[in-house]
Structure 1
C-alpha cells in the first residue's frame, strides 16, 4: 500500500505537467485562430481589387464616358450597347456602338447631344465621308484625342399596327404618324480608334498633274497615212 502522503505528492507532481499541456493546447488554438483570420483577410483584400479589375477589363471605359454625358433623362430612355474587335487592336481595333431611344424630336435630341459632347471635350470633325452615304436626319462627326465619334440622330422607323391580325402593308420607308411608337427619335453613336478610322488617313489625289502622262496614249488617224512609199 502507498501512503496517503505519497498520493498527494504524486498529484502535486502531475499538476504542473497537466497545466503545461493545457497551456500548449491553448497556444495552438490561438495560433490557429490567428492563421484563419489572416487567411480570411488576405482573401477579402485580394478579392475586392480582383473584382473591380475584372469589371474594368470587361467594361469598356468609352461606354462609361458616354454614360456621363450631360443629357436629360428624356434623351436616353433606353440604351443598347454593342462592341466588337480588340481593345489592343489585335487584328481589328475595337468598335463601340450605342443605340439610344429619345422621347423628343430629332432636332431637340441632336441639339442636347451635341452640346453634351462639346462639354465633354469632343470637337466637331469636318471630314469627307461623314456620313459614308446619304442619310436622313442629323449626322455629325467628332474627335477627341485618339478617338473618333459618329453621331446620327433621326426619326424612328415606324411600322403601322396590324390590321385584322395581319401585318400592315408599308407603302414607303417614311415614318408613319399613325403608329404610337413613332414619337421621339433614335440616336446612334459609333466610336472608333482614330488609327483605325480610314478618314484620318490622307486620301490619294486624282489630280492628273500628279499621275504623270498616260502610258498608253490614244493614236488618232491612220499612223501609216503620211508615210511616203519608197521607190521600188
Structure 2
C-alpha cells in the first residue's frame, strides 16, 4: 500500500511539473513565432471598416542576420482613400509614431496617399490608394474584342461601380538600421559631371631634372 501511494504521489508530482513547464513553454514559443510588430499594428485605433481582411507577410530574420526583418500588412477599407488615410494617420500619431519627412518617400512616385513614419528603432511606410479595377474601354473601341471561335467562353464582365469602392492600405515596417533612408546619402556636384578624373599636370611636381655629371 505504501509503495502504491508513493507511486501515485510521484505520478501526480510529475504531471504537475509537466503542466507547469508546458504552459510557459507554449506561450514562449507562441511569442517567438508571433512578431510583436504585428501586435502593435493590431492595436492601432482604427474602425473595423478600415481593417478588413488583413494579410501579413514577413521576410528576413529578427536578429538581422544577412537580412533584417521586413513586416508587410495589406488590408482593405470600405471607405475612400482620403478618409482611410486620415484615420490611419490619426491612429499612428496616437500610438506614438511621428511623421518622417525624408527623401525617397516614396522611392518611386505612386498614386494615392504615401507617408512615412518613425518610432524608436522602427520605420513605417503607409500607402493608401484606390483599389485596382478594370480600366474603362477606349473611345471608339469595343469593350470586348470579338472572339474568332464562336464556342469560346465570353470574358468576365467589368466590375460594377460599387465593387470598386473603398481603398487598399499597405504598411511596411523595417528596422531603422536596415532602412537606407536613415543613412546619409552621398552628394554629387553636377558641375563635376564630364570632368576628367585624372587632370593633366601643368607643372612637374618633382621640379627640374638634375643634370648628370659630365
TM-score bracket for the superposition, by shorter chain length: 0.7 to 0.9
1:151 corresponds in structure 2 to: 126
CA contact (8 A) 1:78 1:100 kept: yes
2:184 corresponds in structure 1 to: 202
2:155 corresponds in structure 1 to: 166
Bigger Rg over Cα: 1
What stretches of structure 1 move > 4 A for 4+ residues in a row? 208-211
Structure 2: how far apart are the matches of 1:28 and 1:106? 74
**SS of the counterpart of 1:136?**
coil
1:38 corresponds in structure 2 to: 13
CA contact (8 A) 1:158 1:179 kept: no
Aligned length: 184
TM norm structure 2: 0.80
1:125 corresponds in structure 2 to: 100
TM norm structure 1: 0.74
Q: Give ranges in structure 1 of 5+ residues lacking alignment.
A: 1-25, 171-175, 219-232
Q: Give ranges in structure 2 of 5+ residues lacking alignment.
A: 136-142, 145-152, 201-214
- Root-mean-square deviation (Å): 2.4
Question: Which residue of the other structure, out of 170, 176, 179, is the alignment partner of 1:188?
Answer: 170
2:41 corresponds in structure 1 to: 66
**SS of the counterpart of 1:81?**
strand
* Correspondence list, 1:11-30, <5 A: 26-30=1-5
How far does the alpha carbon of each residue in 1:14-63 deviate from its partner, in whole angstroms, 9 at most, with x for none? xxxxxxxxxxxx11111111101001101100110011111011100000
